[in-house]
Amino acid sequence: MDSRGHSNGRELETKEMDIRSLSSSRNNTQCIHKVGVPPKQNLFKEFKARVKETFFADDPLRTFKDQPKSQKLVLGIQVIFPIFEWGRSYNLTKFRGDIIAGLTIASLCIPQDIGYAKLANLAPQYGLYSSFVPPLVYALMGSSRDIAIGPVAVVSLLLGTLLQKEIDYHTHPEEYLRLAFTATFFAGITQATLGILRLGFLIDFLSHAAIVGFMGGAAITIALQQLKGFLGIQKFTKKTDIISVMRSVFEAAHHGWNWQTIVIGVAFLCFLLLAKYIGKKNKNLFWVPAIAPLISVILSTFFVYITHVDQKGVAIVKHIEKGINPSSVKQIYFTGDNLLKGFRIGAVAGMIALTEAIAIGRTFATMKDYQLDGNKEMVALGTMNVIGSMTSCYVATGSFSRSAVNYMSGCQTAVSNIVMSCVVFLTLEFITPLFKYTPNAILAVIIISAVINLIDIQAAILLWKIDKFDFVACLGAFFGVIFASVEIGLLIAVSISFAKILLQVTRPRVAVLGKIPRTTVYRNTQQYPEATRVPGILIVRVDSAIYFSNSNYIKERILRWLADEEEQKKKAYSTKTQFLIVEMSPVTDIDTSGIHALEELYRNLQKRDIQLVLANPGPVVIDKLHASNLANLIGENHIFLTVAEAVSSCSPKLVEEA
């Protein structure tokens, strides 16, 4: 590109070119240009370029170029610990923003953490632990300025479901906890490995549509789980599908519901929803819904403490371990069967956690217009979870709701996470005993009001409007989660996403082109009904790379267009088709099967006295046409730069029939 950098003039226009002038049928004179064959590249170079484009598409080493060694070391440290980069320009104004944001998300995260730990079938302190260490690690290594780190609802539910399937937390709490740490460890390893191997693009395979459905389903599943705390039910199913849960709820209806619990629950749910509504109506009051959960906790705890309703069956938190995270290195399973189980669970939970964190990171990076390196983020999140697993934390990631609050409270850097972490530290050290009388119903209510945000009906409607297939993927994931389980929903989502890609590759569109009046432009006759077909010439465009998975279909589809055309012709007594022009612009690549299919097409057409003509094959395609000698078979003079040139060259050769 360097040599063409200063190409602002038309000086190249006078360059000698291989031009064969031919008189065209309609226009006065036109130049026929040769299709360019890109310069033959060194095999190794080509391979290197391909690898670079696949794994280093964002050119992460760009800043390292042409720098002295010492500078490279500094840059290297800054790459791994971005805090050294942004830390140097940190100032008091930024700190003011961060401290307000940090305090706000801390007030939101403390009650949520306790509730989310329950979703993962863990004691409440593990939720708080996970909001203490991971945010600190992320602040050092992460590059997003807005993300709020900690346990999140969906990952907690997923982890809880997967762990419960292996070990029952009622009968074997010790082993359950150990497996949870093992899974967290491997979630971190998975995340970091994906980042280091630059395989970050793998998370793109979970499509937006699938995520919308999955999140919506998970939100409903989580909300349903909260009915236990909300209604004060003692015996509750361990399954998560809607049918089991509803059966559990109605079976408990006669004797298992506790009216005092329900009253507390309903009252505070109204309070939280009102706060949410106020926050939505007036963007300046965003802090109202943010601190409402903490206020609910304080008020309800105080209420239970003075009224002693806990003796009337209102379930309370009872006990939260005091003090900061103990070490859990020795609790991780590094051998045996549980290692494998932990790895499997961790890999799934880690991927979902990544998907959520990267989506959040990208959203806010776009809003504030800064770059985010997905692979670097993965390394940061992975390291954070590995360290977390050794300090009694379970899988932490970026939280949608808290990150939004963080952003709106005016956070400037990851320092807001450090502030939050400090508040959680103080809570763990001093305040946990105060949570003793907090009713479980409040935690349930807080979770319900938090996960409601995950149900994005607007997005689903947009999916329906834009792409029906995406909508089906969304519905599939949604119903999979609520009627089967989180894993099944996930599996459905991924399968549908893949099926879509494969379908497009297997059955690409093949369109018939016509000439748009008063131009030399040829376009799809379905899209442009005014486009006219050229008699005696059939022009088709193949809308995909020609690969083994579609080469047969494309060949047969083209022949079918031809058959249709012939049938049409027979009725109208018009000129027999003598040229078949294949517009190759959208054909970005062709493989050996594709070359074979083209060759078969050519031979088949020859038998019918129809000449195959190619228009505008791309660099890769023309290269392979030459390598396979097919270009010679078809004839160089039957390969044109544009459809217009192909038509103007073919038209005079048409033989009129009697």
List binders of a copy of itself among 588-607 (CB under 8 A). Answer: 588-589, 591-593, 595-596, 600, 603-604, 607
* Helix or strand run (H / E) with residue 98: helix 92-119
Phi, psi of 522 (to 5 degrees): -110, 125
CB of 382 to a copy of itself, least distance (A): 20
Give the interface segment with a copy of itself, choosing from 105-113, 146-154, 444-452, 464-472 (CB under 8 A): 464-472
Residue with tokens 């002038």: 21
Which position among 109, 360, 622, 650 is part of the footprint of a copy of itself (CB under 8 A)? 622
Does residue 61 belong to the site contacting a copy of itself (CB under 8 A)?
A: no
Does residue 651 belong to the site contacting a copy of itself (CB under 8 A)?
A: no
Q: What are the tokens at 576?
A: 């027999």
CB of 651 to a copy of itself, least distance (A): 12
Which position among 331, 416, 544, 648 is part of the footprint of a copy of itself (CB under 8 A)? 544
Q: Which is nearer to a copy of itself, 234 or 588 (CB)?
A: 588
Contacts of 23 (CB under 8 A, 6+ apart): 29, 652
d(CA 60, CA 586): 30
Distance in angstroms between the alpha carbons of the first and the last residue of the chain? 55
Does residue 8 belong to the site contacting a copy of itself (CB under 8 A)?
A: yes
d(CA 143, CA 139): 8
CB of 216 to a copy of itself, least distance (A): 15
Does residue 131 belong to the site contacting a copy of itself (CB under 8 A)?
A: no
- Residue 458: other Cβ atoms inside 10 A: 9
CB of 603 to a copy of itself, least distance (A): 7
Which position among 458, 465, 655, 658 is part of the footprint of a copy of itself (CB under 8 A)? 465
Mode of pairing for the β-strands spanning 510-515 and 522-524: antiparallel
Q: Which residues 503-532 are close enough to bind a copy of itself by CB under 8 A?
A: 503-509, 512, 514, 516-519, 521, 523-530, 532
Q: What are the tokens at 371?
A: 């770059």
Contacts of 481 (CB under 8 A, 6+ apart): 213, 214, 217, 218, 220, 221, 488, 489, 490
CB of 403 to a copy of itself, least distance (A): 18
Does residue 492 belong to the site contacting a copy of itself (CB under 8 A)?
A: no
Amino acid sitting at position 606 = Q
* CA angle, 120 then 471 then 403, to 5°: 45
Does residue 655 belong to the site contacting a copy of itself (CB under 8 A)?
A: no
DSSP E strand boundaries for 37-151:
149-150
Q: Which is nearer to a copy of itself, 53 or 636 (CB)?
A: 53
- Output the furthest CA–CA distance in the chain (Å, rounded): 105
Q: Which is nearer to a copy of itself, 335 or 371 (CB)?
A: 371
Q: Which is nearer to a copy of itself, 276 or 533 (CB)?
A: 533
Phi, psi of 323 (to 5 degrees): 100, 160
Which position among 434, 557, 566, 651 is part of the footprint of a copy of itself (CB under 8 A)? 557
Does residue 56 belong to the site contacting a copy of itself (CB under 8 A)?
A: no
Which position among 238, 239, 362, 576 is part of the footprint of a copy of itself (CB under 8 A)? 362
Does residue 20 belong to the site contacting a copy of itself (CB under 8 A)?
A: no
Q: For a copy of itself, what does the binding mask look like between residues 193 and 232, x meaning CB under 8 A?
A: --------x--xxxxxx-----------------------
Q: Which is nearer to a copy of itself, 273 or 516 (CB)?
A: 516
Phi, psi of 383 (to 5 degrees): -60, -45
Does residue 658 belong to the site contacting a copy of itself (CB under 8 A)?
A: no
CB of 581 to a copy of itself, least distance (A): 16
d(CA 238, CA 88): 51
Q: Which is nearer to a copy of itself, 234 or 606 (CB)?
A: 606
Does residue 436 belong to the site contacting a copy of itself (CB under 8 A)?
A: no
Q: Which of 529, 502, 501, 497 is nearest to 513 (CA)?
A: 529
Does residue 463 belong to the site contacting a copy of itself (CB under 8 A)?
A: yes
Does residue 568 belong to the site contacting a copy of itself (CB under 8 A)?
A: yes
Does residue 553 belong to the site contacting a copy of itself (CB under 8 A)?
A: yes
CB of 86 to a copy of itself, least distance (A): 21
Which position among 322, 627, 635, 653 is part of the footprint of a copy of itself (CB under 8 A)? 627
CB of 346 to a copy of itself, least distance (A): 24
Instruction: Give helix then strand counts, H and E, for the chain.
Output: 26, 10
CB of 7 to a copy of itself, least distance (A): 5
Does residue 57 belong to the site contacting a copy of itself (CB under 8 A)?
A: yes
Which position among 308, 466, 609, 636 is part of the footprint of a copy of itself (CB under 8 A)? 466
Does residue 636 belong to the site contacting a copy of itself (CB under 8 A)?
A: no
Which position among 20, 23, 40, 47 is part of the footprint of a copy of itself (CB under 8 A)? 47
Check: CB of residue 124 under 8 Å from CB of residue 114: yes
Does residue 45 belong to the site contacting a copy of itself (CB under 8 A)?
A: no
Three-state DSSP class for residue 641: coil
Does residue 566 belong to the site contacting a copy of itself (CB under 8 A)?
A: no
Does residue 260 belong to the site contacting a copy of itself (CB under 8 A)?
A: no
What torsion do the CA atoms of 615, 619, 625, 626 make, to the nearest 10 degrees? 120
Does residue 495 belong to the site contacting a copy of itself (CB under 8 A)?
A: no
Does residue 585 belong to the site contacting a copy of itself (CB under 8 A)?
A: yes
Mode of pairing for the β-strands spanning 397-398 and 149-150: antiparallel
Which position among 221, 642, 648, 649 is part of the footprint of a copy of itself (CB under 8 A)? 642
Count Cα atoms within 13 angstroms, Cβ side, for 105: 37
Q: Which is nearer to a copy of itself, 205 or 430 (CB)?
A: 205
CB of 64 to a copy of itself, least distance (A): 16
Give the interface segment with a copy of itself, choosing from 140-148, 282-290, 322-330, 619-627 (CB under 8 A): 619-627
What torsion do the CA atoms of 177, 181, 187, 191 make, to the nearest 10 degrees? 150
Which position among 25, 53, 64, 652 is part of the footprint of a copy of itself (CB under 8 A)? 53
Does residue 175 belong to the site contacting a copy of itself (CB under 8 A)?
A: no
Which position among 67, 247, 253, 564 is part of the footprint of a copy of itself (CB under 8 A)? 564
Q: What are the tokens at 13?
A: 């226009």
DSSP 550-604: THHHHHHHHHHHHHHHHHHHHHHT-PPP-EEEEE-TT---B-HHHHHHHHHHHHH
The 3 state secondary structure assigned to 457-499 is HHHHHHHHHHCHHHHHHHHHHHHHHHHHCHHHHHHHHHHHHHH
Let me know if 556 is exposed, middle or buried by CB neighbors in 10 A (0-12, 13-18, 19+): middle
Amino acid sitting at position 126 = Y
Does residue 334 belong to the site contacting a copy of itself (CB under 8 A)?
A: no
CB of 58 to a copy of itself, least distance (A): 6
Contacts of 77 (CB under 8 A, 6+ apart): 84
